[in-house]
Amino acid sequence: MVMAVKNSPQKLYANGSIGTVVDSEPLTEYPVVEFRDGRRVTMVPDVWGIARRRAQTSEHFSSAAAAGVGDNSSQKSGNDTGCG
């Protein structure tokens, strides 16, 4: 059993689709997966852009901090009870 961990750009399967490895491509040795709907798909390597997204997120947070967004230094200090 295998599970897809992201959507296929060609919409051949979706994140979470479950299937079984039934063969491999002769030249590449990439696995051929038969999904529960009967569709057979040759799975190919993919590159994820997580590092880039983290960098963009970090830049966003850095920009927000520089602009004072989320800065609560003007609030009076004390115990926050979370009640208004």
Q: Where are the domains of the chain?
A: 1-64
Q: Are strands 40-42 and 31-35 parallel, antiparallel or unpaired?
A: antiparallel
Q: What percent of the chain shows pLDDT beyond 90?
A: 51
44/6 Cα distance (integer angstroms): 12
> Is the pLDDT at 25 greater than 50, yes or no?
yes
Task: State the average pLDDT over residues 33-44.
Answer: 95
Match 């520089």 to its residue by tokens: 66
CA 82 to chain centroid = 32
pLDDT band for position 19 (50/70/90)?
Answer: very high
Determine contact, residues 7/16, Cβ cutoff 8 Å.
no
Query: Which of 47, 37, 42 lies closest to 17, judged by CA?
Result: 37
| Per-residue model confidence (pLDDT) at position 82 | 46
